[in-house]
């Protein structure tokens, strides 16, 4: 087990888990807010098709949390709209 | 960084202008068996797979770091997958297996894919498309709330990671796979509030007839017993009408439905749940075959758009074959036989098998297939989406999740004579987003083609354009970014 940082908070994760899985296990369902209506969204298809689980992962916005494996020290932020990457 | 799975030939990856005899897209049951047959006959095979390991969605392998405590819990379906993967293992050293790779374009005899953080192309003499299927999206008020997840997504979390989607779970949908998911959730210690089956299915009398078709159902009665023992209401002729909550699912309205799946509103009631799993059957992932120019038709029995194919699984484009659920949802057993047929046919067309050898082999697989097809019809009939399913959305319900397009906007465009999905896309932006119409496309087809008095009874499919999956400009330009 190790930890990842989500919106500044530490979340436990296991090797082989995707970020979306670790967040689901932690009961954090809201992964981002939509660009147009600012509506909360979470993982929907869970297999990489729908892009509803887009988050800022290690500074890269619009990254599908269901497709990226959690690694120690991973920094994840809830995405607002189109997201902000590292400048 | 992601681990790489090597079959021994992985070092060849990344070479400019790679070429293979047979390229296979997808390593589920159909892709694997196609590779086995072609490779055995001496064909040089390259498989491109989005997943870390072969197996596809159904035989998804456990990620590193997880060990299997109770293989029995996974059922015979799992053992069948293991058997297939062992068979694959025997020829794997001859096969180039490229994992984590997403094919985003097909250009004549060359396909383009994203391999981790770089873009590459692969030339081929023959191509087998085995891209599989995904859960049918069904819009209803509240379906975009966090906590509403497809059955496939939940299954991946429960089966692979042993993570439950919530503490009070509602399953809504149709068909036998719901029972499989329920059993997996129960085994993992989850609490299911109810299982809603939209169809009029009495599983106890129905199961014996269909489980020879769906290998996952070999354990069907055991699933039912587990559901029964756990005291979970298994409600047939029931549907979810709405999900509500502040930021995430807190409750769901359900109701009994008639034979057209239209709700009897006096039966409407509310369940306190924090998770909704939707399993309304599958739709084929047909965008790559469409992109390759293969002629398609819409077949409701097979889930949606499917390529026209000959006996040997060859599409209307010579040299391109399509197999498995991606060319018509019929389950893993059918996928396995189709894969074997296509792999054998490719070996024959490349001169690695004589005509008689190939014919003899294909005849055997065809015989297996025709036996299976008998059950497909029955299975389809019970869980065929009825009209009421596509009448749940309200005016303000989002239909296109990516572009946040409501039913009202869709109806306005239809009233302004949008007669096809492509016209609808131009008028509303529906289908232009990141999922590229995978989620709204099946719904829009059903809404348009079912509309009475509409000129759009044959609304067609979204025209796929490369890249069919998002690729960042960095990757296209060959600039690997620093993080995984």
Residue B351 to residues A39, B38, B93, B244, B347: CA-CA distances in angstroms? 57, 11, 22, 60, 6
- Give me the residue spans of the domains in chain B: 10-134+283-353, 137-280, 393-450
Residue B171, both tokens: 């399953």
pLDDT number for residue B7: 37
Q: Where are any strands of DSSP class E within B208-262? A: 234-236, 238-244, 251-256
- Judge whether A12 is closer than 8 Å to chain B, CB to CB: no
Helix (H, G, I), strand (E, B) or coil at B430: coil
Query: Based on the number of CB atoms within 10 Å of its own CB, is B217 exposed (0-12), middle (13-18) or buried (19 or more)?
Result: buried
CATH code matching the domain that covers B137-280, chosen among 3.40.50.720, 2.60.40.1930, 3.50.50.60, 3.30.360.10: 3.50.50.60
pLDDT number for residue B373: 76
Residue B85, both tokens: 């993967």
CA distance B150 to chain A (A): 5
pLDDT number for residue B56: 84
Q: What is the CATH number of domain A2-80?
A: 3.10.20.440
Whether the predicted pLDDT of B210 surpasses 70: no
Q: Average pLDDT for residues B100-125, to the nearest whole number?
A: 91
DSSP state, residue B263: B
Residue B448, both tokens: 């348009």
Mean of the per-residue pLDDT values for chain B?
A: 87
Q: Kindly indicate the confidence band of residue B95, based on its pLDDT and cuts at 50, 70 and 90.
A: very high
CB atoms A50 and B438 under 8 Å: yes
Q: How far apart are CA A61 and CA B444, in angstroms?
A: 29
Give the range with max mean pLDDT: B24-33, B68-77, B112-121.
B24-33
Whether the predicted pLDDT of B12 surpasses 50: no
DSSP state, residue B158: H
- Residues 6+ positions from B160 with CB-CB distance below 8 Å: A16, A21, B60, B62, B63, B66
Residue B175 to residues B32, B219, B260, B281, B420: CA-CA distances in angstroms? 26, 15, 16, 7, 30
pLDDT number for residue B4: 41
CA distance A44 to chain B (A): 4
Q: Do A10 and A3 form a contact (C-beta atoms < 8 A)?
A: yes
Domain spanning B10-134+283-353: CATH 3.50.50.60: yes
pLDDT number for residue B66: 47
Strands A79-80 and A32-33: parallel
pLDDT number for residue B111: 95
CA distance B322 to chain A (A): 20
Q: Kindly indicate the confidence band of residue A59, based on its pLDDT and cuts at 50, 70 and 90.
A: very high
How do residues B381-401 score in pLDDT, each as one tens digit? 777 889 999 999 999 999 999
- Residues 6+ positions from B465 with CB-CB distance below 8 Å: B291
- Name B314's bridge partners: B321
Lowest mean pLDDT among A14-18, B10-14, B272-276: B10-14
Instruction: For residue A6, report the phi and psi dihedrals to the nearest 5 degrees.
Output: -120, 115
A–B interface: beta-carbon pairs under 8 A:
117
pLDDT number for residue B436: 92
Tokens 């047939």 map to which residue? B236
Q: Name the residue with higher pLDDT: B376 or B307.
A: B307
CB atoms B150 and A44 under 8 Å: yes
pLDDT number for residue B77: 63
Q: Do B166 and B145 form a contact (C-beta atoms < 8 A)?
A: no
Q: Kindly indicate the confidence band of residue B11, based on its pLDDT and cuts at 50, 70 and 90.
A: very low
CA distance A41 to chain B (A): 5
Q: Do B421 and B445 form a contact (C-beta atoms < 8 A)?
A: yes
Whether the predicted pLDDT of B474 surpasses 60: yes
Residue B192 to residues A42, A60, B143, B198, B225: CA-CA distances in angstroms? 20, 36, 19, 17, 14
Exposure on the CB side of residue A75, measured as CA atoms within 13 A: 8
Query: Based on the number of CB atoms within 10 Å of its own CB, is B31 exposed (0-12), middle (13-18) or buried (19 or more)?
Result: buried
- pTM score over 0.95: no
Q: How far apart are CA B86 and CA B407, in angstroms?
A: 48
How do residues B262-273 score in pLDDT, each as one tens digit? 999 999 999 999
Strands B95-98 and B45-48: parallel
- Give me the residue spans of the domains in chain A: 2-80
Nearest to A42 among B1, B147, B163 (CB): B147
pLDDT > 90: percent of chain B: 68
Lowest mean pLDDT among B72-86, B103-117, B253-267, B291-305: B72-86
- Residues 6+ positions from B109 with CB-CB distance below 8 Å: B123, B124, B125, B319
CB contacts of B248 in chain A (<8 Å) are 29-30, 40, 42
Q: Do B269 and B256 form a contact (C-beta atoms < 8 A)?
A: no
Residues making up chain A, counted from first to last: 87
Q: Are B10-134+283-353 and B137-280 in the same CATH fold?
A: yes
- Judge whether A59 is closer than 8 Å to chain B, CB to CB: yes
Q: Kindly indicate the confidence band of residue B80, based on its pLDDT and cuts at 50, 70 and 90.
A: confident
pLDDT > 70: percent of chain B: 86
Interface predicted TM-score (ipTM): 0.96
């Amino acid at each position: 087990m190790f930890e990842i940082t989500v919106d500044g908070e530490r979340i436990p994760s296991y090797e082989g888990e995707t970020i979306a899985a670790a967040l689901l296990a932690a009961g954090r369902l809201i992964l981002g807010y939509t660009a147009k209506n600012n509506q909360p969204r979470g993982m929907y298809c869970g297999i990489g098709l729908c892009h509803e689980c887009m988050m800022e992962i290690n500074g890269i916005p619009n990254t599908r949390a269901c497709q990226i494996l959690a690694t120690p020290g991973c920094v994840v932020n809830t995405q607002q709209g189109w997201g902000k990457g590292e400048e | 960084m992601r681990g790489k799975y090597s079959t021994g030939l992985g070092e060849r990856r990344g070479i400019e202008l790679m070429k293979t005899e047979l390229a296979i897209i997808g390593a589920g049951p159909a892709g694997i068996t196609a590779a086995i047959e072609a490779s055995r006959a001496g064909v040089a095979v390259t498989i491109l797979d989005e997943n870390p390991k072969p197996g596809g969605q159904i035989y998804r392998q456990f990620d590193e770091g997880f060990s299997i405590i109770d293989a029995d819990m996974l059922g015979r379906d799992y053992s069948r997958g293991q058997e297939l993967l062992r068979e694959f293992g025997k020829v794997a050293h001859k096969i180039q297996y490229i994992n984590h790779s997403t094919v985003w374009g097909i250009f004549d005899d060359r396909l383009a894919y994203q391999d981790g953080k770089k873009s590459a192309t692969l030339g081929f003499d023959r191509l087998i498309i085995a891209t599989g299927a995904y859960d049918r999206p069904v819009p209803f008020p509240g379906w975009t709330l966090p906590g509403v997840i497809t059955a496939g997504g939940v299954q991946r979390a429960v089966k692979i990671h042993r993570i439950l989607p919530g503490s009070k779970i509602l399953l809504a949908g149709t068909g036998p796979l719901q029972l499989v998911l329920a059993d997996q959730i129960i085994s993992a210690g989850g609490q299911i509030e109810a299982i809603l089956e939209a169809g009029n299915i009495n599983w106890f009398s129905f199961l014996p007839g269909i489980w020879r078709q769906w290998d996952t159902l070999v354990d069907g009665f055991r699933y039912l017993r587990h559901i029964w023992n756990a005291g979970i209401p298994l409600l047939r002729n029931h549907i979810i009408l709405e999900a509500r909550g502040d930021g995430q699912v807190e409750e769901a309205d359900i109701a009994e439905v008639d034979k057209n799946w239209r709700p009897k509103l006096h039966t409407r009631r509310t369940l306190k749940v924090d998770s909704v799993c939707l399993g309304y059957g599958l739709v084929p992932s047909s965008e790559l075959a469409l992109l390759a120019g293969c002629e398609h038709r819409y077949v409701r029995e097979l889930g949606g758009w499917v390529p026209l194919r000959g006996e040997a699984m060859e599409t209307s484009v010579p040299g391109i074959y399509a197999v498995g659920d991606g060319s018509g949802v019929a389950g893993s057993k059918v996928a396995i036989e189709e894969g074997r047929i296509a792999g054998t046919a490719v070996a024959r067309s490349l001169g690695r098998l004589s005509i008689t050898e190939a014919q003899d082999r294909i005849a055997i697989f065809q015989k297996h297939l025709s036996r299976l097809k008998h059950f497909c019809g029955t299975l389809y009939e019970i869980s065929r989406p009825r009209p009421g399913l596509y009448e749940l959305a309200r005016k303000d319900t989002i239909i296109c999740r990516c572009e946040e397009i409501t039913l009202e906007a869709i109806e306005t465009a239809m009233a302004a004579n949008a007669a096809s999905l492509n016209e609808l896309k131009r008028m509303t932006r529906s289908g232009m987003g990141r999922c590229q119409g995978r989620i709204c496309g099946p719904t829009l087809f059903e809404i348009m083609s079912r509309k009475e008095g509409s000129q759009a009874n044959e609304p067609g499919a979204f025209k796929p354009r490369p890249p069919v999956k998002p690729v960042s400009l960095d990757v296209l330009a060959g600039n690997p970014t620093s993080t995984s």
